[in-house]
Amino acid sequence: MERTLVLIKPDGVRRNIIGEVISRIERKGLKIVALDLRTLDAETAKTHYEEHAARPFFESLVEFITGGPLVAMVVEGERAVEAFRALAGATDPVQAAPGTIRGDFALEVQQNIVHGSDSTYSADREIKLFFPDLA
């Protein structure tokens, strides 16, 4: 069974839509196998988003993602990586289709509510980073 790392970013927690996001994951038929509310330190945030280290928005992204508590989850199911990315919608919430999490709840590219791993390779790396003790 495939696993993916999902984050409800600090903007989603601040806006009290944790339940809304979790409900969509469960409604889809995906299973939550680990879940934790935590505030990231800068080092973990930089490792998580290391692929973007050279991008102009990197510093601002790290500041945003460490700026308050977030919810980290491991989500499991058939093609879980792709299934959750479809629920999340496009990175830019204005482009994201209505009916997706970003399409329904966000307007700005940085504050786009959720993260989902972009491949099984990334999922593996990110799950080890966030939940090193998970079997």
SS3 content of the chain, % helix, strand, coil (to 5): 45, 20, 35
- Which parts of 88-107 interact with ligand RTP (CB under 6 A)? 91
* Binding string, residues 79-118; x marks residues near Mg ion by CB under 5 A: ---------------------------------------x
**Closer residue to ligand RTP (CB): 57 or 121:** 57
Given Mg ion, ligand RTP, none, residue 110, with its beta carbon under 5 to 8 Å by kind, binds: ligand RTP
110 binds ligand RTP (CB under 6 A): yes
Phi, psi of 69 (to 5 degrees): -65, 145
The separation between CA 115 and the C-alpha centre of its own chain, rounded to angstroms, equals 2
Continuous segment of H or E residues that includes residue 31? strand 31-38
118 binds ligand RTP (CB under 6 A): yes
- Contacts with Mg ion by CB under 5 A: the residue count is 1
Contact 64, 9 (CB under 8 A): yes
SS3 label, residue 46: helix
Phi, psi of 100 (to 5 degrees): -90, 165
Residue 48: active-site member: no
109 binds ligand RTP (CB under 6 A): yes
The residues of the shown chain that bind Mg ion, judged by CB under 5 A, are 118
